[in-house]
Amino acid sequence: MGDSKGDDPGPDRLAVDATAEGARARARGKPREACPYALDSEERHEWFEGYDGRSVQGSALMPEVKA
């Protein structure tokens, strides 16, 4: 069915991965300025959502855990 590259994500997967990449970057101690996406791109906003743990609208992506 054509030339398929196993590790090459399709365009639908890129947006989801940007959020996960941002979360991983924060977990690894990378600075916020390490975002690899272009200014004003949708992927950059999604990367920051993952990094900050918040959606663009400001609601938390994950519920707070209270001790």
| pLDDT of 65 over the 90 cut | no
Residue 51, token pair as written in the block: 């990094």
**Angle subtended by helix axes 11-27 and 42-52, to nearest 10:** 40
Is the pTM higher than 0.75? no
The three-class DSSP label of residue 20 is helix
The 10s digit of each residue's pLDDT in 5-61 is 444 444 445 445 899 999 999 999 999 999 999 999 999 999 999 999 976 555 555
